[in-house]
């Protein structure tokens, strides 16, 4: 049931740190591109972040910072339903209902949970569940609800989230099998960026840019910090005059994602020819990024201010999201036998 007849694209980002260039290329930009053809529903998965963020100030700041990033990068809150997950209580009621139709074995096999147990095993702990909270274990059920309650057709995510989408489809299938005579969920599908590895940005140490590796370039870092971070990108010690392989360089991969095609072609040719050092590439990368990010940085800082329009936008979005969620939850309640009094 789409309200406008168009298909629905939905995605969420967890506020677990400052948004970085990788989040922009892998998640925010593809989702914003879909927003022109699909009805779009994008949110901040703050209760998902609670599985790992324990500092209340950090949780609040990062939630705001993810929200401000979406708006700064061009999300139009008139066209996109945009909200904080925690402002839609219907999600948490449905989470219980769907937990009751989800096999525990399915959760035992979830990648994130298995990875946490593997880390415990590698650390030689006897209790493989040490330090793992029920939020982490139930994480895929909450994510399935985020998607199903909004009746999403497509969910733009990185490759690492594909299993979660399979789980959402599975959980919807279990419910539909039991209760489909009265209410059934739409089965959602993941959409991953084409050539996913091509769109996985490296961080300053050459590994995948990730908050968990502490190697990120935050999108709205002040100019001086941006320059320092770019200078610190790992490069080899090939002398300036020697020809260089652009594709072996993390700085070049970043450059490719932000410079114009003509700038990229020119830089590629200069590196291959020799006579251009990694330092020069990094200067060019800084110029390109700074040129694009400077005007956005101001908008971001405005939105981050405590009395900005962000709160009003999120409150309106939450109301629109709840209007979507309510009839779905009502259908579910009817289907399971929790009738209105």
Among 24, 28, 44, 157, binds ligand TRP (CB under 6 A): 157
Q: Which stretch binds ligand ADP (CB under 6 A): 55-63, 166-174, 194-202, 284-292?
A: 194-202
146: contact with ligand TRP by CB under 6 A: yes
What is the Cβ-side half-sphere exposure of residue 116, based on CA atoms within 13 angstroms?
19
Residue closer to ligand TRP by CB (options 230, 314) is 314
Shortest Å distance, C-beta 266 to ligand TRP: 35
Task: Indicate the residue whose CB is closest to ligand TRP.
Answer: 12
- Taking residues 6 to 45 in sequence order and writing x for each that binds ligand TRP by CB under 6 A, - otherwise, the string is ----xxx-x------------------------------x
Pick the binder of ligand ADP from 8, 9, 10, 13 (CB under 6 A).
Answer: 13
Q: Does 155 bind ligand TRP (CB under 6 A)?
A: yes
Q: Work out the angle at residue 84's Cα, subtended by the Cα atoms of residues 319 and 19, and round it to the nearest 5 degrees.
A: 145
Nearer to ligand TRP, 13 or 289 (CB): 13
- Based on its alpha-carbon atoms, the radius of gyration of the chain, rounded to whole angstroms, reads 22
Q: Which long-range contacts (C-beta less than 8 Å, at least 24 apart) are formed by 97-106?
A: 97/332, 97/336, 98/141, 98/144, 98/145, 98/148, 98/171, 98/175, 99/138, 99/141, 101/171, 101/174, 101/175, 101/178, 102/141, 102/144, 102/171, 102/174, 103/174, 106/140, 106/167, 106/170, 106/171
CA distance 70 to 208: 22
Q: Please tell me the distance from the alpha carbon of residue 115 to that of residue 299, in angstroms, as a whole number.
A: 38
Site for ligand ADP in 265-304 (CB under 6 A): none
Does 26 bind ligand ADP (CB under 6 A)? Our answer is yes
Distance from chain centroid for Cα 286: 25
Q: How far is the CB of 85 from ligand ADP (least distance, A)?
A: 14
Q: Could you tell me which of 142, 87, 137 has the C-alpha nearest to residue 117?
A: 137
Comparing CB distances to ligand TRP, the nearer of 25 and 284 is 25
Which of ligand TRP, ligand ADP, none does residue 95 bind to, with CB < 5 to 8 Å depending on kind? Answer: none
Q: What angle do CA 215, 27, 173 make, to 5 degrees?
A: 125
Task: Tell me which of ligand TRP, ligand ADP, none is bound by residue 204, counting a contact when its beta carbon lies within the kind-specific cut-off of 5 to 8 angstroms.
Answer: none
- Per-residue DSSP letter, 218: B
Enumerate binding residues for ligand TRP (CB under 6 A): 10-12, 14, 45, 48, 143, 146-147, 155, 157, 161, 164
Enumerate binding residues for ligand ADP (CB under 6 A): 13-14, 16, 22-23, 25-27, 157-158, 160, 199-201, 208-212
């Amino acid at each position: 049931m789409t309200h406008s007849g168009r298909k629905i694209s939905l995605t969420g980002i967890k506020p677990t740190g400052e948004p970085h260039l990788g989040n922009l290329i892998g998640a925010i930009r593809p989702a914003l591109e879909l927003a022109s053809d699909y009805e779009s529903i994008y949110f901040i998965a703050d209760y998902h972040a609670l599985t790992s963020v324990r500092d209340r100030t950090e949780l609040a700041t990062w939630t705001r910072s993810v929200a401000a990033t979406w708006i700064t990068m061009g999300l139009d809150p008139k066209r996109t339903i945009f909200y904080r997950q925690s402002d839609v209580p219907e999600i948490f009621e449905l989470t219980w209902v769907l937990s009751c139709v989800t096999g525990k074995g399915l959760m035992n096999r979830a990648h994130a949970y298995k990875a946490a147990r593997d880390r415990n095993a590698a650390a030689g702990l006897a209790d493989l569940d040490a330090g793992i909270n029920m939020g982490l274990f139930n994480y895929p059920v909450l994510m399935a609800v985020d998607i199903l309650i909004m009746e999403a057709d497509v969910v733009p995510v990185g490759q690492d989230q594909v299993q979660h989408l399979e789980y959402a489809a599975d959980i919807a299938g279990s419910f539909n099998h039991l209760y489909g005579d009265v209410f059934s969920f739409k089965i959602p599908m993941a959409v991953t960026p084409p050539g996913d590895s091509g769109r996985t940005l490296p961080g300053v140490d050459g590994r995948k840019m990730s908050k968990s590796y502490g190697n990120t370039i935050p999108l709205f870092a002040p100019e001086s910090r941006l320059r320092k971070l770019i200078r610190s990108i790992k490069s080899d010690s090939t002398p300036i005059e020697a020809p260089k392989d652009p594709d072996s360089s993390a700085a070049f991969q970043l450059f490719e994602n932000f410079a114009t095609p003509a700038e990229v072609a020119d830089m590629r040719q200069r590196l291959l020819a020799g006579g251009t050092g990694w330092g020069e590439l990094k200067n060019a990368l800084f110029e390109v990024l700074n040129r694009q990010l400077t005007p956005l940085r101001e908008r971001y800082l405005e939105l981050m201010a405590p009395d900005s329009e962000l709160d009003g936008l999120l409150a309106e979005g939450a109301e629109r999201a709840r209007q979507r969620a309510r009839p779905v939850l009502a259908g579910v309640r009817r289907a399971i036998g929790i009738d209105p009094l």
